Amino acid sequence: MKIIRACALTASLTAGLAMADAPAPAAPSAESKFAGNWIVKGEFGDLKYTLSCFFIGDDQTLSGPCLGIREPLLRANGRLNEKSMQFKYKTEYQGTGLTLDYRGRVQSDGSFKGTVMADQSEGRFEATPQSVLTVGEMTPWILNVGFTSSMQYSVVCGFRQSGDRIKGPCAISQGATLQARGRIEGDNVSFEYDTQYEGRPIRVEYSGTLQADGALQGTIKEGSSAGVFSAERP
């Protein structure tokens, strides 16, 4: 049973996201499937914000979660090809439901710039690829982390496997892309990445166990603080 579940975990992880080593990612070709982390910076006048999005898709579709510091997990859908990007998601602003609609054109550096509409309000945005991969079917993992009832957040990660080792990018709400590394041992998965908290370097360590439904559950350590996490594929 452990071997079967370990194989299921391996297939699930490696059918998920992989990371790219290329230093200057570009938009995918029209025939490719792709996945990757994008930093989206938007503004409506003096209102400015940053999202970290993990998109997957092909020339027909684009989808994936977006994380923001003041936002819940946002689920975006749209299209992306060599020339244009379009995606939208539902959110709330001051208690009012909104749909934000992004439409941009590719720039010479591989980023996309354009307009974002929120009902009758028009703003501007720029989306910059942090890692874009030409891959087969890929799905991001969403990690829901909790230390206390008032300290909870989400992280989106993807992994590539080599033997019992895994590695890949993790996107956090502050807009950073962190490089995670870890291993699979039977039903158990552990990985870590380095980040900063209030200007101090800190290592974040995850240790989880595969559940019967294919999800992961376990514990997380950030320095001397400990919490719990669960991970699922959307």
Chain segment 97-139, per-residue pLDDT in tens = 999 999 999 999 989 999 999 988 999 999 988 765 544 444 5
The class level of CATH for 2-17+139-232 reads mainly beta
Q: CA 121, CA 44: separation in Å to the nearest integer?
A: 8
Give the CATH number of domain 34-134.
Answer: 2.40.128.120
Segment 31-43, tens digit of pLDDT:
455 667 788 999 9
Which residue is associated with the tokens 């595969």?
210
Q: Domain residue spans in the chain?
A: 2-17+139-232, 34-134
**pTM (predicted TM-score):** 0.61
Q: CA 199, CA 177: separation in Å to the nearest integer?
A: 16
Q: CA 226, CA 211: separation in Å to the nearest integer?
A: 21
Strand partners, 143: 155, 231
